[in-house]
Amino acid sequence: MANDIGEAFESQRAIMGHMLAFADSMALKCAVELGLADIIHVHNAPMTLSQIAATIIDHSPSSTPNMDNLKRIMRYLVNMKIFTSTVGIGGETLYGPTPLSKWISNDFELGVAPLILFNDHALQQAGLHFLAECVKNGGDAFTMAHGCDTWTFASKNALYNKLFNKGMSCMQYLAIAIIDQYEGLKTVGSLVNVGGGTGQFLAGIIEKQPHIKGINFDLPHVIAMAPELPGVIHVSGDMFESIPSGEAIMLKWIMHDWPEKECIQILKKCRQAIPKNGKVVIIDIVLQPKEDGLYCPIGLKMDMLMLGHTGGKERTEDEFKTILNEGGFSSYKITHAAAPMCIIEAYPH
């Protein structure tokens, strides 16, 4: 009986942990909004709570930090291993950086602070409350929450558009690190980056491979925010209508935004835009079961986000094979990059 009670409580604790997992992302969002990582890294030495609060006031003079609330936030972030805590000579707790904290710093070039602010914003989270409705009746969760799909909403809502583009831009450094492992662009004379955002990713490629003529292609409201970048030509349009011609087409984190029907439409437009010896280069997650049959947690979490945010999905290799074949690409090669990300090089029929 005692063992049964112990197992029951252990199971309950596990469910409670899953239920409250959102607290992690909200604590990260709070840390970014307060600039806690920036404050501690710039100080270059462990800080007391009072020193952190004073710097918050320096950055936001109208604020009056609540010390108890700040203490609770810091305690939570220490428990997440975002910061360290030690006891100083006078008995005060001192907070210091960790290898994780730099990633939420606004000053770290490779950091993900803008992505945290985007993904954890109420506008982006709203669709996740409609997952059950998606199961019962199908449909797009984001549209259920906002009355239109992600892309239409971004064209109408300036705040969301700004959050989206900044969030995606901060991921360009990871994407460039991934593409650096790929040698398939050395002989490509022209590259069209479809859904390329404001163009930083393509600019990063051309900086290292200046022989490439780069075309950054995205929706008009995105291109309107795109800065002038060396070697990059910005073109606005709709990938479901036509795609600029090039020797190769790049689809970075595009396929996972869409259901099968739309993916096949996009691939057919890509096929029309490249020569017979051209190719499409896809950067996306490829879901792969491990020996125990389970999948990489990051891949599955991203799959849930796509269900709630865009109506798209993360795919297995077999699922990619199906849409590629129906989209006009009979063969492909997968290069495993930063797990669970992969580069898929697809060749036309």
- Annotation marks residue 129 as catalytic: no
pTM, 2 dp = 0.88
Helix (H) / strand (E) containing 87: strand 83-87
**Cβ contacts of residue 118 below 8 Å, gap of 6+?**
124, 163, 164, 166, 167
Lowest mean pLDDT among 83-97, 202-216, 333-347: 333-347
Over range 129-142, report the average pLDDT: 95
Report the candidate in 238, 210, 235 with the shortest Cα–Cα distance to residue 224.
Answer: 235
Q: Could you tell me which residues are beta bridge partners of residue 286?
A: 315
Query: Which member of 234, 256, 309, 336 is catalytic?
Result: 256
**Cα of 193 vs its chain's centroid, Å:** 17
How far is residue 51's CA from residue 255's CA, in Å, rounded to a whole number?
46
For 70-116, what is each residue's pLDDT tens digit? 999 999 999 999 999 999 888 899 999 999 999 999 888 789 999 99
Query: In Å, how far are 150, 259, 318, 341 from 144, measured between CA atoms?
Result: 11, 16, 30, 29
**Mean pLDDT of the chain, nearest integer:** 93
**pLDDT of 89:** 85
Residue 7: band (very low, low, confident or very high) from pLDDT cuts 50, 70, 90: confident
Bigger pLDDT: 142 vs 169: 142
**pLDDT above 70 as % of the chain:** 98
Tell me: pLDDT of 3 over 80.
Answer: no
